[in-house]
Structure 1
């Protein structure tokens, strides 16, 4: 103004009369000060024609109107931000889970719900909905056949025939039995491999169940119960699977030998050496017969062992992994149930803070 410059104002100017230091010192009230301000603008010739838009009261009305306009223009954005924040808070609150019930029935119900979520994740791994269950079939399709083939190779590489110790029936039985016994190793390995895969799936299902992370004590108990259940199933599976092998060892399939071509006994001199009677071709035929029989048994076991494992381990894991845990759970007192639901204090504080923010 002193330099004579002019500026285009974005908003109209408003003149006001400030309180003097004397008025402030004398504690003149604001009502009297505003009245004097109005009198000044209405009686002063220079401002009389502008008095309707002069003074602190008019300035307050203009600022209020401007503030109202700005707020209205930003209400949609503010509403959107509030809705977004509410959605985020509700999502996090849902992830943290519900507060723990006070009564024993509520606690038991909470534990059962969490166990069901874990069990569902575990079954989805076995059913192929989630990854990992296909490793069980890899044991049946690759590991077991390869192990059985390895046993056959050891049989084919065996040497050191002692012809004078071989009698037709007893020799066959001893050779076949000693060979079939070696199948116990691959059978046990298949059971153990399946057990290891199921254990991995339990750990994976636990890590995919956020509710278990909320209660560390319950997570440990559920994990231990699942592993103990799998170990019982493994022992039962191993017993059933080895019985299949032992059945093949203790009784040979007679029909197999009936179909073999029989030599006509041509007799011979009493002085004929046993080494001449059981010559090299005869002994080789014994080896070939034993190998053929073992091949037949291996082919049978290659199908029956997986069935036994699936029945005793995979099927039972899907049906009754936590059954024993559920039985023991129903016997627990409220104090023990509370210990299982001993939530992380950090999570409890976070849930409480989120609930207060949502209430606001």
Structure 2
């Protein structure tokens, strides 16, 4: 086994006799790789550049990031094959440079070998001298950010057409710096990082992370900032520059193989022109020859042909960008289509300007008619802008009626604020000085009217809720369309507000009349009313079921009941003689003494009737007493009575009289009857109110507004002397109309541009297969430059297979 087979390397070989190519030269007649998709994307970039920072469509592109003096500009110049970028020891790239490389036909293919550049800010001006391109970049940069070291995020767009380039679009950004110099702000590093992140955070962006080989790759600024937005390395391509100035005894083989910091798209190593080469005016072509010589003279890099050299970098970028665009094109067209529809709708909402009085009148009439139609549609649930997240329009009115008004009334108990004592007091007050034999009607009517009157406030509140909902609906109508006429919007809001208030007044008056009608006539003949008979039966049943019987022992017949005896005694004691003086004469009424009462037989003790027989107990006693009184002189009789009788004085009645705390069974029945009658009739009235109040509100407020709103608008607003005032636009509306018109034009151009490119995968794949033949036969093939034997080529292929990614490389 040879040493070469053990080490996996081959000794350097003699370069082929063919002339050294430019990094992107091609001598075949086949179409170059990406000749269709990349120019289309370049054209889209030019189209969207018209919008500047207003563009929201992210296009596929390759963004070059790296630290200051990492060799970014040298890589770009090597890809172009010409020296055209500002150079120096300090920061050179101070504004984003969008570089579009467009391959043209060579003279051998019927074209021209001319190379030129075009700036977007200088249309139709071609720069054939690339030193003039450098001076124009410097002048345009200084024009915006000054001649010192300031930076800005405004792009410079440069298109270079040449037969010696591949179709690639790159964005060169300012290098990451640590210490501010010149007039740079103190936060220059944060600003540059923010600018870089604003580009690379888009999923459509490929990241070309440039890192010099003489620095630690693990501490690379470019890879670190790329990992923030692409942690898995799916869209990051690593470029390791300055391989020729590494310390002796070190190499970048492990870096290129991805053993240190893996990337799915891999690494490419290049050799840049040094500052001495620039000072000695060595051309880029000479630098490419020196790069080829370096890789051939360093065996450590043998077997890495697909990872070495600027030509290989150009090929890799072209292939990855084409495949990336192919993946993104369907979604890109969809996003442009959606943006086109949205912008067209916004532009339509701003309308067109009209100067004539007739045109203004027609425009105003059209607005008023559309507003009334939108108002009715929202109320009836026929609006095209129907919400799926919340109730709106007429659905909210129905919710207020059924779920707020009706449900609130159903939850009210008519007897919740009436105690049994309140009802008993009302019943006793209704009987006057007499005891009622039946439950009187007056307390029922008084109490039920009081409960009916409670329904007035929630009914009026319901009308107020509907009024507020109608105001909200009016504010939602034609919000975007009326933004252009704030005066008209204000006047319309005033008119509809006054009109709704006018409709609220008859609604509230009708609600008051409905409540008054219910209170004025208590219809106890209503078929759903419980009635007196059923109420009595139900009340008796409730009272009896609520009582708990207590067993009582029956006394013997020959014994005297203590309660009865005490009752008789108390009745005897409570009897009094109520005398009054009339012309100085006392009436002949009197009461017997206690001794006389005790002397009466037991049989007479049971006689408790009121009147003279009850006062003078027993016939003999009464006769004796009467005779003794008659036989005595008048003065003796009075004196005798004053000794035997004492006067009884009554307590003064209190200012407020209430029933006793305990009530009889009859009173309990009366209370239950009254409650049953109250609940029964209240339910009847409640259902009437639940039905009548929404009808009154719908008739006088909601439907009346729908029917008459257009006529009110015509009467109040359609006046010729008001046209100019109400149709006056604010300045920002005119600016928005102009901006949306420009955006609409750009999106239409972009959509037509995408129609030029077939989206079928077969078409793109077929084109790529054709381009592969071109690359293998052209001078892009690095195997003829850097490999010396077929074994090296086979090892290179195996190494490449081990690092294949989603793009097929």
Shorter-chain TM-score bucket reads 0.5 to 0.7
CA shift in 2, pair 1:125/1:89, >3 Å: closer
**RMSD over aligned Cα atoms:** 4.0
- 1:252-283 CA-partner distances (Å, limit 9, x unpaired): 114137953288xxxxxxx9xxx979622123
Name structure 1 gaps, 5 residues minimum: 13-57, 68-79, 264-270
**Distance between the aligned counterparts of 1:344 and 1:228, measured in 2?**
26
| Matched position secondary structure for 1:213 | helix
Partner Cα distance (2:688, 2:664) in 1: 37
1:105-125 CA deviation, whole Å, 9 max, x = no partner?
A: 322221121122222222222
1:190 aligns with 2:462: yes
CA 1:322–1:224: 2 relative to 1, 3 Å: farther
Query: What is the number of residues matched between the two proteins?
Result: 286
Does the 8 Å CA contact 2:485/2:726 hold for their aligned counterparts? yes
User: Which of residues 468, 471, 478 is equivalent to 1:199?
Assistant: 471
Classify 1:164/1:348 alpha carbon distance in 2 versus 1 (closer, same or farther; 3 Å): same
Distance 1:239 1:64, change over 3 A: farther
Whose RCO is larger (CA < 8 A, sep 6+)?
1
Instruction: State whether structure 2 residue 732 is matched by structure 1 residue 339.
Output: no
Change (3 A) 1:7 1:300: same
Task: Using the TM superposition, give the Cα deviation of residue 339 of structure 1 relative to its aligned residue in structure 2, in angstroms.
Answer: 0.8
* Rounded Cα–Cα distance in structure 2 between residues aligned with 1:87 and 1:238: 47
On the 8 A contact 1:156/1:291 being kept in 2, the answer is: no
Q: Tell me the equivalent position of 2:803.
A: none
Distance 1:350 1:146 in 2: 49
- Look up the match of 2:489: 219
Q: Which has the higher strand share?
A: 2
Question: Which among 146, 155, 158 is matched to residue 418 of structure 2?
Answer: 158
Task: Give 2:352's aligned residue.
Answer: 98
CA contact (8 A) 2:448 2:678 kept: yes
In structure 2, relative to structure 1, the CA distance for the partners of 1:89 and 1:240 (3 Å cut) is closer
1:1-360 aligned at under 5 Å gives the runs 6-7=19-20, 10=26, 62-63=111-112, 93-103=347-357, 105-129=358-382, 130=386, 131-132=391-392, 133-153=394-414, 155-159=415-419, 160=422, 161-162=424-425, 163-167=427-431, 168-207=440-479, 210-256=480-526, 259-261=531-533, 279-330=667-718, 332-334=719-721, 336-351=722-737
1:139 CA displacement:
1.5
d(CA) in 1 for partners of 2:487 and 2:474?
16
The alpha carbon displacement at 1:250 in A equals 0.8
1:184 Cα offset (Å) = 0.2
CA contact (8 A) 1:188 1:238 kept: yes
Task: Report the TM-score when normalising by structure 2.
Answer: 0.32
User: What is the Cα deviation at residue 212 of structure 1?
Assistant: 0.4
The separation in 1 between residues aligned to 2:416 and 2:676, in whole angstroms, is: 9
Answer yes or no: is the 8 Å Cα contact 2:503–2:700 preserved in 1: yes
Work out whether residues 107 and 338 of structure 1, in 8 Å CA contact, stay in contact via their aligned partners in 2: yes
Q: Give, in angstroms, the shift of residue 351 of structure 1.
A: 4.0
Q: Say which SS state the counterpart of residue 343 (structure 1) adopts.
A: coil
Which protein is bigger by CA-based radius of gyration?
Answer: 2
Offset of residue 293 of structure 1:
0.6
TM-superposed deviation, 1:156: 3.3
